[in-house]
């Protein structure tokens, strides 16, 4: 195999790899704050019905509270001076 054949083969493989990678890239939809709150509420209900330990219930409540705070912060209107902060 000559040098030119090797270069041609490597160039073809690189192009094929790039085409394959373009097909593989997929993004998962982002979970909304409200969906997270609903999921934690349902999880808490299930955990309470099935006698889950206090520590695990506390963890679920903390995660639910984080989702609630995130939802609140995203719904809260920003003050106009927040757009004009000096660097």
Selected residue with higher pLDDT from 69 and 27 = 69
Mean pLDDT calculated for residue range 36-42: 95
- Please work out, in degrees rounded to the nearest 5, the angle formed at the alpha carbon of residue 56 by the alpha carbons of 39 and 70: 45
d(CA 2, CA 78): 66
Confidence at residue 40, expressed as pLDDT on a 0 to 100 scale:
95
d(CA 59, CA 39): 14
- What is the pTM assigned to this prediction? 0.56
Confidence at residue 57, expressed as pLDDT on a 0 to 100 scale:
94
């Amino acid at each position: 195999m000559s040098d030119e054949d090797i270069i041609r083969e490597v160039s073809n493989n690189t192009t094929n790899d790039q085409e394959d990678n373009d097909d593989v890239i997929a993004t998962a939809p982002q979970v909304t704050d409200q969906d997270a709150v609903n999921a934690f509420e349902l999880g808490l209900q299930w955990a309470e019905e099935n006698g889950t330990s206090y520590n695990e219930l506390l963890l679920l409540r903390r995660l639910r509270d984080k989702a609630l705070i995130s939802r609140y912060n995203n719904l809260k209107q920003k003050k106009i001076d927040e757009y004009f902060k000096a660097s």
